Amino acid sequence: MKTRAIAKAVWDGPFYIGPLSQPVSLGDVVLKLLETVWRTAVGVVALVVTSTIGIALWVMVVEPWVYPPAKDKVTIEVSYDDGSASMPPAINLGPGTDPGAAFRCTEDYPLKIRLSNLSGSPIGNISFSIGARRDGFTRNLIQRGNWLQTDRVLPPNTWWMNCWPVGFSERIEEPISLRFSGAVSAASYVEPEQ
């Protein structure tokens, strides 16, 4: 009830005189005009505030839920494979086996990076970062592992794998023992290739 009284007081404003009665004086006309201007201003402010709240809700809540950003639909997996470890034979892998398991990297390009598009639309212009840490430590041992980028277009529900060079900030005896990780920082939906 108190909210309604406050809203009525704001709507009426300082110039409220109620219905005009005969005879009408010049002062009554001026007050009625000021009352109309006040109510117009209150209406415009209310419209702007309501529109701003609506736009903010759309941009911050509804749109990311209904139309998730492309970067949220791309996953990244990073592993170390300098090609020195022996591979199990790739004979009769059978259905459901990951064909990327037989993909090998080299000593010069030992990081195996797999990007997967989990959306129903093509995604490209993917920016990502990679890291390598010892168990129990937080320091990233990869030099220049941030702001990596590929312009590869990933069709819907597919993945792409490639080998990348890596530089460590210190001498690492067994890189395979590190925990490798990756994070996608940006991506964009692109037009399907014709």
Tens place of pLDDT per residue across the chain (194 aa): 688 888 888 888 888 877 777 887 888 888 888 888 998 999 999 999 999 999 999 888 888 787 888 999 999 999 998 877 665 544 444 455 555 556 788 889 999 999 999 998 999 999 999 999 999 999 999 988 888 999 999 999 999 999 999 888 888 888 888 999 999 999 999 987 65
Structural domain of 8? 2-66
Structural domain includes residue 194: no
- Same domain? For 45 and 74 the reply is no
- Same domain? For 48 and 78 the reply is no
Question: What's the whole-model pTM score?
Answer: 0.64
- Same domain? For 136 and 179 the reply is yes
In angstroms, the CA 79 to CA 102 distance is 13
- Same domain? For 50 and 110 the reply is no
Q: Count of domains in the chain?
A: 2
Structural domain includes residue 76: yes
Structural domain includes residue 90: no
Residues 77 and 122 sit within 8 Å (Cβ to Cβ): no
Residues 143 and 164 sit within 8 Å (Cβ to Cβ): no
Which one-letter DSSP state was computed for residue 58? I
